[in-house]
Structure formats: structure tokens, C-alpha cells
Structure 1
Amino acid sequence: MKCSKRNILKKGVGWAATLALVLLLGAGTALGQGEAQNDLPLLPGGGVGKARDMSLPDAVFLVVRGNTSIENAYLDRVVQKFGLEVEEHKFKPDVTFDSSLVRTGTDDDDETDGFSYNTDSNDTQFQARASVSELVPTGAQFTFSWEFDKTSGDTSGSYSSDDDSTSNTWSIQMQQPLLRGGGIDVNMASVRQARITEQQNILALKGTLIDAVTTTIYDYRSFLESARQVAIVLRSLNRAYQLLEENKALIAAGRMAKSDLVQSQSNLANQRIAYQQTLNDVQQARLELLRTLNLNKNTKIKPTEMLKLPEVLPTNKQALALAYANQPAYLQAKLVLESSKQDLILAKNNMLWDLNLLVNYNRTDTNSNDQGNSNETNWSAGLYLSIPVYGQPRLSRQAQLLSARSNLLKARNSLRQSNENLQIDVDNGLRDLNIKREQVKLSREALRLSQLQLQNEQEKLKYGRSSNFQVVSYQLDLANAENTLLTAEVDYLNSLVALDQTLGTTLNTWRIAFKTQRKSAEKKVWDR
């Protein structure tokens, strides 16, 4: 039955949502059917006070909110977004204005042939300039400038005069490249590249979030697994203690040799050693999780998640459709190819001659007490050609063209390789899931048989039909079976997380609203 790509995506997203519910609302066992998380032992940890219950969704929320790598990524996004705004301003006007006010004075005393002359002069000059320049998508540069200059002179003393002058000049210039640098496709290339870079930056941010969430899930499950292993060892320790007490009773009744007690005592000692080791393991896992969550190392937490294994998995077709739409690395490869195409457009255009059409028009109005009023108008239009016939400029442009062609070919190869890698990763992920699901089923059956085997052997021991050594061996087998099932279930769930990461759907699965900007980061960077 054929399905459209849109339907495949809908089904894939539906699977991701179903998987999220399974992971978030999980309720199952690794330590025995029907066992609740409240059966976990109280774990020693840093700090004082009651341990804080933490579910897996709690941990995911905390890492998204407070992880240092994520916070730094959002700080970078402020600068990256502004860089796009700068490039998109390319075809908007640039306006400048400057002015000056200068006053000068001179005092001149002169004596000639017995006569004294005194002259004082004061000049005031005010200048103002403004210009508006705008680049249009064809490559044409339009510039309008205006300049106002007013000079006031006042001379007093033996000779008095007033000299005021005003000039007002404005000009319009247009320069249009006809070959190199001309054309909409060429001038829009840098803007398109900036937009591609923005998409790459957003994908990089998404990848940072996915990696942080994935690491958190792994760390949380490692902590949970270590805590469950403590519970397993405690039960093994309890069984070893009960066996020792039963052995003592059998010895007192004359039904067991006293020398057989050594086996039970040795087993009890080994279980105590294992208990100490698991306590160390759980503390290491706790600290690693706290580091990922950016929480104080003395924070006492208790994992409350229960393990439930989903039975419904996506098909290969559904998984690939999701990966093509969401996988950051694959989407990055596609963007690199698009960016390389823009580089080649610019490099090819850069090989053309410089042929520009230049048009100027300016007018100056002057008003002076001495020279009267005058108006002057000038205009010009012409073509200007520059050809790099031979030498470094031409070789440099040719090197850029060769580099652009090479980068485009490499980008195509990388995209093809990325596509193949993605298909292989999806195949491996789904196959690994199916194998691990089968391992869980086999581990559950092995645990059931191990429990039954130990019960039968304990009954035999009561009637003298089994040895103490055999019972101890079956107790160890039961503990190993419990640990094997726990590891199998955690590995299976972690394989789901790894597949989510491969597909790029981690944020969808955990219902994390992906935001390309954070207002808190913008306030910090802009210092608002």
C-alpha cells in the first residue's frame, strides 16, 4: 500500500508522540514483576535532609532550563541573529550627518610713519553635511549628498568691513556595475548565504539541545540502574543472611556439618562487598547527573522513574522520513551544498571585467556680500573599464573560482555520504532495538526460571537433598539474572533514545518547544 510522504511524516510524528507517552508514563519492572519505585532503598548522598524525588521528565526540564552548554548556545544566538540583520540591511539606506562650528579671531596693531593702525577681525564658520547612500539588488549604488557652508566675517578698527558668504551644494551619483558585481543574482548571493548561515546556526542550536537532553536521559538511567542494583544487592544480602540462619538451624538440628557453614559466611561477606561497590557506583552516577543538570553536588535526589518497554516500533520507511525531515547533521549537509552554490556564483562573477556606468549631477548655490550670488551646475556620465590582464589580481580571482568549484563538488559528496550514513544509522538503530527487545524477553524468562530453580533447591536443602554450595550458586545466579534483566531493559530504552537522536526527533518526543531565541539571553547580551 503506497503512502504519501506527508502521511508518512504524520505517522512518524504520531509514533514519536506515542513513544513520548510510553517513556513519560512508564510503569514496569526490572527487579521483579509489579515492583514499584518506592521499593528502592534510601541512598546515601551529599547534603542534609530528605532526598528530592526526580522523574525523568523533571531531569529533562532542568537540563533545558539550566544546562551551561544550552545557555551559552542561546547567548551565541543573539549575536548570530544580529549578524543576519546586518546583512539584510544591505539594500536599505545608509544615512550620515556631520557638522562643525568654528570661530576664529585676530587682533593686529601696526605703526607706520608715525601712524598707528588697529584691526580686529572675527570669523565664524558653520558647516553641515548629510548623505544618503543606497545599494539596490541590481548592484547600482545611489548616493545623495548635501553640504551647507556659512562663513561670517567681522572686521573692526581702522578698517571696518563685513564679509558674509553662504554656499549650498547638493549632488546625486549613480554607479551601476555592468559586468563584475552587477545583477540581482550576484548581489543577493551574500544575503542568501547569511540566511543559510542562520539556518545552520539554528540547526546547531537544535543539535546542542538534542545532545544535552540525550546525555541527561543516559545519565538519569545510569543513576536509576545503579539505584536498582543497590536494591538487587540488598535482596541478595538478605537471602545470604537468611541462608546463613537456616544453616545454623540445620547444624543445631544435626542435619548439616558445621564445616558447610563457611560457604554461607563467605557468600554473606561477598554480598557485603558488592553492596559497598554498588553504593559507590550510585554516588558516581548521581554526581554525573547533577553535573549535567548544573545542580549543586550536594543535592540529594531519588530517581522515581519506572521502566516500561514500548512494543510498537516505527517501520524503516517511517523512520527514514522522520530523519530526512529532522536530522540536524543531514540538514546541515544540505545547507552546506546550498552555500557552496552561492560561493560559486560569486566566484564566477568575480572573473568578469570591471565595467561600470557612472552618472554625476551636482549644483552649488553661492551667496556672498563681496561677489554676489552665483549658481553652478555640473553633470557627467561615462563608462569605466578595468581589466586584470595578467598578474596577482587575476590569479587570485582564478584561485577563488577553483576553490568554489572544489567546495561544491565536496559538498555534493558529503551530502551523498550523509544520506548513506543516515540510512545505515537508521537500519542499525532499528535492528539494535529489535535485538534488545528480544534480549529483554529472554532475560525475563531466564529470571523466572532462576527464581523457580532457587526455590526448588531451597526446598531440597531442607530435606537434605541438596548442598549448601548448590543453593549459594543458585542465589548468585538469581542476582545475575536480575542484573541481566535490568541491564537489558535499560539498554533497550537507551536504544530508543539513540534512535530518537539519530532521527532528530528527541525534542518532539519529549514535547520540548524549540525556540530559536531566549529573551533572558537577549536581555543579558543587550544589557537591558
Structure 2
Amino acid sequence: MDNFFTGNGYTPRQFWMSGKQSLGKTSVFFLLFAFLISPPFAAVKAAENAQIISLAECVALAMRRNTWIKLAYMDRVVQKYSFTTTANYTFRPDIDWQTALSQAETKQTVPDDSTSLNRSIASALHLRQNLPTGGAIGIQWQPWSKDLSKANQAMYSSDVSSRLDSWRVNFSQPLGKFAGSRVANLVVDQAKYQENLDVLQLKATAINTVTSVIKAYRQLLLAKWDIAINEASLERAKTLLETNKTLIEMGKMASQDIIQSESDRANKELSLEISRNAFDQARLALLQLLDLSRDLIIEPEDQIEIVPFSYTEEQIFSLAKENQPDWLSMLIYLELARMELVQARSEQKLDVALSGSFGTSNTRGDISVDNSEKSWELGVVVDVPISGRTRRELKGNLIKAQVNMDKANISLQKALGDLAINTRDLVQRTKTLEKQIELAENARKLSEKKLEVELIKQNAGRSTNFQIVTYQDELRSARINELNAKISYLNSLSDLDKFMGTVPLTWGIDLASAPTPTFERDSDKMQIEKTSTNTESLR
């Protein structure tokens, strides 16, 4: 794309004069024509010691240095560990090794003196395995345990030692409440969806930050161009003022007419100062997003590319449903609400559990303590809350889960409608802004021609200095409007990129995300439980 400052067929011109009296009427006209019509320089000269930075470099710096992105990645460390623990270790056995040493001594003085001493050492291995059916199996193995007991009385003393080894297997399986693989696997499924939600939150943080950096960069570029336009306008105002002074000395202009030129120069100096302050503010805003030193002098690249808008409304809507973090999060919230309802319904069932155990133990030592036995047990436990707080809490959990399910369904349907409306709004706005670029360019060209014609009229004595200054200001405004139209259009494209959730794809950002959620993304085909939205029946 042609840079705005490349011009439209005009090149800077130089004039040599041997003296003021040799300046004729034609030369004055061409001098005015050269300075008032010619656009600013093709490339804006960078400030001394300024570092030129590209938009891609700003995006890369933001991903490495932005504070919010750093915090989001730090949160991911905790989130990944929590997810791994829940997803990979819920149905893995918990194994504990336990060793105990103890000694106890008792002395008695009344009615007789007596002393007893007990020492023991024991080791045991405990294993517990959760089952996908909701039950659990436990194993306790005590390979070695030794006891030593000594007793001394007035007429009697004893010294008994024994060694024990045993093992026992126990199990439990709910038959009503919390029974079944669907309920047992809820904790793992919830962890998977929560992990996907955390990844989407990281993606949303990166998208929002990168979009803010892109817009801040373009604002800095716009401020840089504004300085160039105001500098060129100030130079033209100074040239016009000097030319008018020459015309007054030659008797071709009234002396009071120079006030307009002096006022114009003062206004241009004010505009230049305002634009410089705006540039510094834009620079600081970008440095703040990049978390760089405020003393760093940076300037954006001059070149921008206006890409034609080629997406259809249907394409944008489809991409948004596939990639937008907010929409995908709504689908996850619906799944989490459905899981919460499944758990609450399971809690309403009768609390019936089957339990049993089997084990052996062998005791060796003195003949009085030698023993070997086997034992087993099997039973059913039924827990029925008749009334009170527990029963109401269970009912409250079901009502809450049902309401959350209703809200998730309504929110999803509302989000789908908003997605379609926002898609149409963004498409129409982008097309309008693209059209405004063409209109602003035509307006700028017409302003240049209008000023050119007015200069010819002034050369013929049929225009005033006031009219020249007015058309010069119109040309300056037209150039600024053209730049604003281009930046607004590019920002609208960035908003579309953000809306579709494709910013990481556009800029090649690897978020090292977890696998894509496995739920159905097409809400038009996704089954929503219509039978579970009647909260009135639960009151």
C-alpha cells in the first residue's frame, strides 16, 4: 500500500532568489503552490536515538513481558498440577507404610509394690483403591509386630513376648447413593472440563492483551503521523507568513492582512505541541503494556498494509463458535452444571452400601499366646435421614443444581443470539470503515485540488489570504481524517480477530494449551435437557 506521505505526483521544489525585489508575481505563486500543496515527506524521520519497533516485535514482547500474561502463566502451573493430580491419581491406589515404636511402664505402691513394662514395635502396609463403580477396596498387611510384657509383683513375676503377622482385605460398594460409574467418574470429568476452562481463560488473557498492544501501537503510529502533518503545516504557515511579508514590502498586500498569517502560524505551533504530547502519551501507554522502561524512546514503523475485507458473516460466525473463548466457556459451564445436577440427583437416592472383609492373623510366642485365626464379615448398611437439617440440605443441593442448569441453558441460548448479533454488527462496521477509507482519500484529493485552484485564483487577484489559510486547514483535516479512517479500519479487523478468537493463529502464538474440549461445539445440534428445567416442582 502506498504510504500516505508518498504524495500524489508532487515533489519538493527549491527556489533561488537574488533578492526580494527580484521576486515576481509568478514566482510568489509557485512558491506558495510548492509549500501549500505538497504533502508531508514520504517517510517520517525518526527521532534521534529512537528505536524503530515493528508490530510483530511488540506482540512478541507482550507475550514475554506483559504482567497479566505472566500472572496467567503462573496460575497455569498450579492449575496443571491440580488437574494432573485429579485426572491421573483418582483411580490409582494410595499406599502408606506405617511403623510404630512404643514403651509403657506402670509402678504400683499400694497395696503392694508392683511394676509392669510393655514394649512394642510394629510395621504395616495400607493400600486403598477407589473403583470406577463408586466403591473402594482396602488392604492392610502387617508383616511383623512384636510385643514384650514384663510384670514384677511381690509373689509373682512374668515375662511374655509375642510376634504377630496379619493381613485383611475389605471393600465397600454403594448400591444407591453415589453408585455407578457415571457418578464415580464425575470428579475426573469435572477436572477435565475445568482444565479446558483454565486454558480458555489463558487464551482470553493473551487475546485481550495482544489486541490492546496492537491498538496501542497503531495509536502511537497515528500520533507520529499527526506530528509530521502538523510540522509540515507549521512550515507552510511560516512560508506563507514570509511570502506575505514580501508581498507587503512590494505593495501587493495590505499590511493588516498579515494578522491572519501570524494567527495561523500560532495555531499551527499549538497543534504541533499538542500532537507531540499525544505521541508521548501513546508511547508511554505502549511501554506500560510491554512492561518496558518509560525512558525507552521507541517509534513505530511507518508502513501499514490495508488488507481488503473478504470474510462473510457466516464464516465469522462459524469461526467464533469454534475459537472464541467466551463462547466455548459457556459450553463448558453448561456441562459442569449438568454434572452438578447428576451428582445432586444421586444424593437423593437411598444411602445403601454393601461392605465386607476377610483376613487372617497369626500370633507366635509363648504357648499361652500362640494363636492362628481367619475371619470374614459381610453386611449392608442403610442410612435414611428422616428429618432435620441433613435432609433439607440434600434437597437444597438438588434445587440449586436444577436452577444452575436452567440458568446455564438460558445463558447459552442468550450467548448464541448475542454471538449472531455481534457478528453482524462487526461485519457491517468493518465494511463501513473500509468504505470510509476510499471516501476519505477522495476528500483529501479534492481538498488538494481545491487549494490548488484557490492559489491560482489568488494569483489572479480573486482570492484572499484568509481563504488560502482556510483551505490549508481543510487539507490538513482531510489528511488526518484519512489516517484515522485507515487506523479505525485496521482496529476493526483486530476486533474481528479478537471476536473470532483467532488472534493466536494470526500471530503464531503457541499457548501450549491442553487438548481441545471434546464437547459438541455446534449449539444448534447440541442436546439440551428440556426435561430438567422445571424448578417449580422442586420447591
TM-score scaled by length of structure 2: 0.84
Distance 1:292 1:28 in 2: 30
Distance 1:264 1:274 in 2: 15
- The 5 A counterparts of 1:74-93 are 74-88=73-87, 89-93=89-93
1:31 deviates by: 4.0
Query: How many Å separate the matches in 2 of 1:70 and 1:387?
Result: 51
8 Å Cα contact 1:30-1:489 kept in structure 2:
no
| Counterpart in the other structure of 2:102 | 102
Aligned equivalent of 1:54? 53
The CA deviation at 1:461 is 2.3
Point out which structure has higher relative CO (alpha carbons under 8 A, 6+ apart).
1
Percent identity over the alignment is: 31
**Residue of structure 2 in register with 1:40 after alignment:** 44
Q: 1:149 aligns with which of 132, 145, 165?
A: 145
**SS at 1:91's partner residue?**
coil
Cα distance change of structure 1 residues 108 and 348 upon mapping to structure 2, 3 Å threshold = closer
- Alignment-derived partner of residue 473 in structure 2: 476
- SS state of the match for residue 471, structure 2? helix
1:132 aligns with 2:127: yes
Distance apart, 1:65 and its partner CA:
0.9
* Corresponding residue SS for 2:385: coil
Preserved CA contact (<8 Å) 1:37 1:306: no
Bigger shift: 483-492 or 139-148? Answer: 139-148
Superposition map of 1:313-462 within 5 A: 313-462=310-459
Residues paired across the two proteins, number: 480
Using the TM superposition, give the Cα deviation of residue 382 of structure 1 relative to its aligned residue in structure 2, in angstroms: 1.3
Deviations 1:288-328 (A, max 9, x none): 00000000111110111422211242011111111110011
Deviation at 1:214, TM superposition (A): 0.3
Instruction: Provide structure 2 residue ranges, at least 5 long, that are not aligned to the other structure.
Output: 9-38, 515-539
Counterpart in the other structure of 2:24? none
Deviation at 1:69, TM superposition (A): 0.3
Structure 1, residues 477-522: CA drift from partner, whole Å, max 9, x if none?
Answer: 01100110010000000000011111111111112122238xxxxx
2:285 corresponds to: 288
| CA deviation after TM superposition for structure 1 residue 100, in Å | 1.9
Q: CA RMSD of the aligned region, Å?
A: 2.5
- CA offsets, 1:156-210, max 9 Å, x none? 9998865321112211111000000110011111211111111111001000000
Which digits, 9 at most, give the CA deviation of each residue in 1:367-414, with x for residues without a partner? Answer: 122515211211111111111222221211111111111111111111
Structure 1 residues 138 and 157, CA gap change in structure 2 (3 angstroms)? closer
CA distance in 1, matches of 2:345, 2:140: 34
Give yes or no for the alignment of 1:71 onto 2:70. Answer: yes
What is the rounded CA distance, in whole Å, between the counterparts of 1:155 and 1:380 in structure 2? 36
Gaps of at least 5 residues in structure 1 are: 1-26, 44-48, 518-528
- Output the amino acid matched with 1:318: Q
Change (3 A) 1:30 1:389: farther
Mapped pair 1:29 → 2:26: no
Residue of structure 1 in register with 2:221 after alignment = 224
4+ runs deviating over 6 angstroms: 34-38, 105-110, 119-122, 154-161
Aligned counterpart for 2:485 among listed residues 483, 488, 494: 488
Aligned-partner Cα distance in 1 for 2:370–2:172: 32
From the superposition, tell whether residues 446 and 138 of structure 1 become closer, same or farther in structure 2 (CA, over 3 Å).
Answer: same
Residue 450 of structure 2 aligns to which amino acid in structure 1?
A: Q
Contact kept in structure 1, 2:101 and 2:122, CA below 8 Å: yes
Between the aligned partners of 2:292 and 2:437, the Cα distance in structure 1 is: 33
Q: Which amino acid aligns with 1:129?
A: A
TM-score (norm 1): 0.86
On the 8 A contact 2:4/2:42 being kept in 1, the answer is no
Quick one: structure 1 residues 161 and 150, their matched pair in 2 at CA, closer, same or farther if it must change by over 3 Å? Answer: same
8 Å contact 1:31–1:482 — kept in the other structure?
no
Letter matched to residue 164 of structure 1:
S
Shift of 1:61: 0.6
Measured at CA, do residues 309 and 65 of structure 1 come closer, stay the same or move farther in structure 2, by a change above 3 Å? Answer: same
Aligned position for 1:258: 255
